[in-house]
Amino acid sequence: LEAFEARPSILSSDNKENNYRGFINVCIILLVLAKFEDMLRNASKYGPLMKLSMFTGALSDFDAAYWPNVTIAASLSLFAAAGYLIEVGLSSALPPTLHLTLQLTNAFSAFLLPAFGVWFYSNNPGGATVTLLFATVTMMKLWSFSVVCPSLRKQAASKDQRYAPTIRHFVYFMLIPTMIYFKSYPQ
């Protein structure tokens, strides 16, 4: 009668359940701690090398004309806010075709206006690419939001309920990496 049974090693190729997640996590922790130790050693030896005025001075001198890609990307939140306000505020007051037309106009404007802005004002191809990527994602998310919400309202109406998207769900949808709007997402 043996007390232990023979099993392959965790790191051998004979093991059926090769899961190195814990090993990778330990490597990342050790890497972060090693770099943190270097950072502390440098800070104690040389003192703080950056002054806060470097950052506050740059922010106080911010001019949108010098940062067109950042300004255009930040303006995408206005299209998102307009899409939410159209859905919540005007969904019951407008006929469905006009409501959908407004939503789709907003969604396509979220792509076309930044594209024109990049065309006329941007001279940085890398920043322009990232800005247009954000504009495309925003357009697709607003399109999904405008198409899914009426079907969710119809589904709720069939159960004698009322559906209105909350700002919390909408902001969560705009921030997570998905293009399809739902009432809830798996965690």
The 10s digit of each residue's pLDDT in 105-161 is: 999 999 999 999 888 887 788 888 999 999 999 999 999 998 888 888 888 888 888
Question: Taking all residues of the chain, what is their mean pLDDT, rounded to a whole number?
Answer: 83
Tokens representing residue 31 in the block: 């890497």
- Tell me what pLDDT residue 60 has: 62
Locus of tokens 């998102």: 80
Task: Encode 151-186 in three state secondary structure.
Answer: HHHHHHHHCCCCCCCCHHHHHHHHHCCCCCCCCCCC
pLDDT computed for residue 132 by the predictor: 93
Q: What's the rounded mean pLDDT across residues 30-38?
A: 88
Q: What are the angstrom distances between the C-alpha of 129 and each of 78, 114, 115? A: 20, 11, 10
SS3 145: helix
pLDDT at 35 over 60: yes
Closest CA to 173 of 58, 68, 87, 73: 87
- pLDDT at residue 55, rounded to an integer: 59
* Of 59 and 78, more confident: 78
Rounded Cα gap, residues 179 and 177, in angstroms: 7
